[in-house]
Amino acid sequence: MNGRKTGLNKRFVSQTALHAVIIVLLFIMLYPLAMALWDSFKTDYGYDMTKWYPTMPLKISNISKGFNITKTYIFNTLIVAAAGIFGMLFVSSLGAFAFSKTRFPGRMVFFYMVLVLMMTPAVMTLIPAYILYKDLGLYNSRMALIIPLWTSACVGAVFLLTIFFNGIPNDIFESAKIDGAGLFRCYLQMALPLSIPIIGTIAIMQIIGVWNDYLWPKIVLEPEKYTISAGLIQSFTYEYTADMPAMFGSYLVASIPLIALFVFANKFYVQGLIGASIKM
């Protein structure tokens, strides 16, 4: 009886310690977000007085100022995301369908090359990519951001979609071929509709990537064409000082589209992750 009681006490202590660690980690993760939120509404004096807790009065104009400055960058980001991700999904889904449902010489060799590219750090190609796009005359062009989405961003998407397509029974496509459907029609009218969840997941991941991309736009674009992450730093940082409350207000404005996207597309995002993991 005493041994059982001792075991229960040890389990209680271990569970309490685990919960304490989780609470501390959650606090470390969430407190900077809360700090950014209330710093968005501080006055300059309130921000200089303290950054660690809310102060009064609130300065709502930080949000409108942030929106007026970031709206151009948000528009640039939306153009790049729409054109780049649409092309990326088409190329990657077409390539994944070929890997999964067709047989051609060297198929597995090419697929293993895709896996190798997944493990290659992007920074290794940073300077060669800059030289390439500059020599192609694409410096300070949005195409310098869109084309990498059609190429480099396809690598992970091809892998995920190939795994997903492998889980679709071949009998469905064989029946369609008997009825006269060609390979492209099987891809367009059967494979794509069945893969909407994983396509939605990939699209959300890529939109977040475009939104958070800072280094590449700074390298290949002039300030007037910056996307949101590069534009925020450019707009509010000066030689000796920065308008920090307005900067935090801009971060809040820039976060709203992503938050709205995740809220409305959360169902597809989770379904795609679950579907891909099951088929693996």
- Tell me which H or E stretch contains 120: none
How far apart CA 198 and CA 218 sit, in angstroms, is 31
C-alpha distance from residue 112 to each of 158, 159, 222, 280 (Å): 11, 10, 37, 16
Query: How do residues 54-99 score in pLDDT, each as one tens digit?
Result: 888 878 888 888 888 888 888 899 899 899 889 999 999 988 888 8
pLDDT surpasses 70 at 270: no
Query: In the prediction, which pLDDT does 25 show?
Result: 92
pLDDT at 169: 81
Tell me the whole-structure pTM to 2 decimals.
0.78
By the 10 Å C-beta count (0-12 exposed, 13-18 middle, 19+ buried), 57 is classed as exposed
What percent of the chain clears pLDDT 70, i.e. is strictly above it? 89
pLDDT by residue (tens digit) across 255-264?
A: 888 888 877 7
Give Cα 99 distance to the centre of its chain.
25
Q: Where are the alpha helices (DSSP H) in the chain?
A: 2-39, 44-49, 61-101, 107-118, 126-135, 143-151, 154-166, 170-178, 183-186, 192-194, 196-212, 215-220, 228-236, 244-279
* Calpha distance 76→190 (Å, rounded): 34
Q: Distance between alpha carbon 72 and the CA centroid of its chain, in Å?
A: 20
Domain 63-279 falls in which CATH fold?
A: MetI-like fold (1.10.3720)
Q: How confident is the model at residue 237 (pLDDT cuts 50, 70, 90)?
A: low
Mean pLDDT in residue range 23-31 = 90
* 3-class DSSP state of 181: coil
Domain boundaries, the chain: 2-39, 63-279
Among 44-53, 146-155, 192-201, 236-245, the range scoring the smallest mean pLDDT is: 236-245
End-to-end alpha carbon distance in the chain: 47
208 burial via Cβ count (<10 Å: 0-12, 13-18, 19+):
middle
| Structure token digits, residue 266 | 């959360």
